[in-house]
Amino acid sequence: MDPLTGIAQPELRDIVLFARSRSRPVSADDVAARFHVHRSVARSRLDRLAKAGLLTVGFERRTGRSGPGAGRPAKIYSVPPETSALEFPNRHYDRLFGHLIGSVPEAECARAGAQFARDLAPDETPPDDPSSAAERACEILGRLGFQATVEEAAEGRVTITTPTCPLRPLVVANPEAAAIDRAMWAELVGASSCETCDCLDGDASCKVVLHFDRD
């Protein structure tokens, strides 16, 4: 099954969006409870999505117990890194974007990224607390179908990981677009600056490090 087939049916597409809205991998029990279907139906649909490459399979103990008597690890499904846009037909917007980006000054790219963030979260102002602002941004992106999770929050800095950053396919195709991506994240959380790592690594999630000025 290819990815387009994997999301052709609404019930499968809904599961993909559900998985992307969660900060942790999902199980058949999670999907069964969310969509009111039998666990075997949920597992079958998750396995179909995994075969299509839209989810990856792993195992973990969710009881916190280990050793004899701990039971079998649960089968879990995670969102894999998404480095290309899923389109039909393929319109090659990444190539068109690449023709444009080289002629745009970096400052203009940053302004475009900040505006795109406001398009994603219109009429919303980030909370003053950096951790709360990052959690809010991840929640907004999750509702839009992009998984993002706050991994670390320290004084003046927050780290987010995201396998499905909204702009990742464009950055992978055109690395010079990273300025747009960084400005988008900084605007979403009200940060003073942003660093991004691993965006071009197809086996890893993007790491977004956001810095906040100390008043």
Q: Name the nearest CA neighbour of 155 among 207, 214, 215.
A: 214
Q: For residue 174, give both structure tokens.
A: 């055109």
> 7 near 13, Cβ under 8 Å?
yes
pLDDT digits over 147-176, tens only? 999 999 998 999 999 999 999 999 999 999
Per-residue pLDDT, 9 = 93
pLDDT digits over 129-154, tens only? 999 999 999 999 999 999 999 999 99
pLDDT digits over 112-126, tens only? 999 999 999 998 889
Q: Is 91's pLDDT higher than 60?
A: yes
Domain spans of the chain? 3-78, 93-211
Q: Is 11's pLDDT higher than 60?
A: yes
Residue range 3-78 in CATH 3.30.230.70:
no
Q: Is 88's pLDDT higher than 90?
A: no
Record the pTM. 0.89
Per-residue pLDDT, 155 = 87
Q: Name the nearest CA neighbour of 193 among 125, 113, 124.
A: 113
In this structure, which topology does domain 93-211 adopt according to CATH?
Muramoyl-pentapeptide Carboxypeptidase; domain 2 (3.30.1380)
- What count of Cα atoms within 13 Å lies in the side-chain half-sphere of residue 153? 11
> 171 near 181, Cβ under 8 Å?
yes
